[in-house]
């Protein structure tokens, strides 16, 4: 399995990155607190979740990202 580290920098990069993470969270069924809230009908949401996220304690998913400004 591959893992992606997302790096974004500066005001423009962070604004674009914010929209990127909104889309990725929606695709994988992750709410703003990092918890899985998917509809359960799609195994694909959880199958590749580790590409962009690390699973933290309490069942929360943390984006694998570096943000700079």
pLDDT in tens, 15-48: 999 999 999 999 899 999 999 998 766 777 888 8
Domain ranges of the chain: 6-68
Strands 65-68 and 53-55, sheet pairing? unpaired
- The reported pTM is 0.81
**Percent over 70 (pLDDT), the chain:** 96
Give me the residues paired with residue 62 across strands: 54
In angstroms, rounded to a whole number, what is the distance separating the alpha carbons of residues 53 and 56? Answer: 9
């Amino acid at each position: 399995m591959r893992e992606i580290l997302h790096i974004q920098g500066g005001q423009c990069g962070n604004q674009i990155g914010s929209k990127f993470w909104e889309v990725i969270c929606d695709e994988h069924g992750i709410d703003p607190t990092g918890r899985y809230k998917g509809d359960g009908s799609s195994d694909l949401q959880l199958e590749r979740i580790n590409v962009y996220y690390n699973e933290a304690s309490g069942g929360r998913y943390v984006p694998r990202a570096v943000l700079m400004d």
